[in-house]
Chains A and B, each alone.
Chain A
């Protein structure tokens, strides 16, 4: 390929055939060796090779296009592999001394492959079975969606019930707070009678008796505090309410019933549920006079 005829038209024609890939292997080897040493043929090759590769677009037409089923099948298989391997680093196989040529068409080139499908005649039956499977799966998925919907409805009902319970509890808490505020208001009322007792006081105000204590010792399990009242003229105390202080040891309670004829108030520790008569020595007995 060397000599005065290097750049004649016939040689450049061979370079074009080489760029398109229509030379035999022996001719291609000769032309490649020449192109590697000839600037003009290198330019010609580069100019025409880019155009030659684009010729492939002529096949991107409806005549040669995959149908929807094929497209979906290929994409599903490829993307399943891709997503499964997404965390695996890419495999690069640098060829020593090679330059960015498109991967050569060597039969032994390592290429990841998906399982090759059989081309047996029963493929049509397999396709039909696949369609049935798809239909079955669609029905199955629909059933799953419905079951999920029912579960969601049940869950929503349960959440609504919980919200209702919380609203009831909140209302009770608000009522208790209002009652406590009312008791405190009685304790602070200008006309209230206040009778000091250990750890607090007993007050009588607006016809009610209130016990307000602090730093009350916590009681063992099965024990409660119980109030006692002594009415005028009575020879024995009567049982009143039982209660336990909060975690801070604070206690503010109103004794039930009218306070007008109460002559004294007492407090003792009793079993849970209360007693009919004091079973322990009272913490205090306070005459209201």
Chain B
């Protein structure tokens, strides 16, 4: 990223090669529209090139995945007839995460850890991340009590983190 901040196109190209499938995959899974996914992928990377200082360190994949998700939510929101504001907002000024533990985690390890989660935990987590829906809607779609959905999300995320920390150790 230091070289990208120095306006090195070759470094940016390497970054793009390494992460464009992640960004595109998130967009495609959330939007189910290959052209929209292309547009979103280009927008995310062009924004990164225009403002590389937006990334402050930690796990770059996790960061750009969040950026991609947020932009996909924008698209969904623009498409949706539902009123603005139904989707969650990001945490504000205290969102300075120190994720050095997870900084080196690679995609395959994450996918392996996710696959290892019980379905009842993985399903609401993936539905929440990619579906762009609230936990209330998750509860309605899955026929699960609202409190149970929250508990399973928390248990699943805790288990996911522990598994990743163990694999990073």
Residues of A at under 8 Å CB distance from B? Answer: 9-10, 12-29, 32, 35-36, 42, 45-61, 64-66, 70-71, 73-75, 77-79, 81-83, 85-93, 97-107, 111-114, 116-117, 119
Contact = CB atoms under 8 A, between A and B. Distances in A.
Nearest to B154: A16
Interface of B: 5, 7-9, 12-13, 16-17, 20-22, 24-26, 28-30, 34-35, 37-39, 41-43, 45-47, 49-59, 61-63, 65-71, 73-74, 77-78, 85-99, 101-102, 105, 107, 110-111, 114, 125-126, 128-130, 133-136, 138, 147, 149-151, 153-154, 157-158, 160-161, 164
A21 B128 contact: yes
A25 B86 CA distance: 6
A56 B130 CA distance: 8
A73 B150 contact: no
A85 B93 contact: no
A113 B43 contact: yes
Contact of B24 (A27, A54, A64, A114): A64
Contacts of A28: 88-89
Contacts of A61: 25, 111
Label chain A's interface by main secondary structure: helix
A36 B94 contact: yes
Q: Name the residue in B5, B67, B90 with the highest tally of chain A Cβ atoms < 10 Å from its Cβ.
A: B90
Contact of B88 (A12, A22, A64, A74): A22
B150 A112 contact: no
Contacts of B128: 17, 20-22
Contact of A66 (B8, B38, B88): B38
B95 A56 contact: no
B86 A48 contact: no
26 contacts: A15-B154, A16-B150, A20-B128, A20-B129, A23-B88, A46-B97, A56-B129, A59-B29, A61-B25, A66-B21, A79-B12, A82-B12, A90-B50, A92-B53, A99-B93, A100-B96, A101-B92, A101-B93, A102-B54, A103-B51, A104-B90, A112-B47, A112-B49, A112-B50, A114-B43, A117-B35
Contact of A102 (B37, B38, B90): B90
A22 B135 contact: yes
Shortest beta-carbon contacts, A-B, top 8: A56-B65, A105-B70, A100-B56, A16-B154, A59-B25, A53-B62, A13-B150, A101-B95
B20 A75 contact: yes
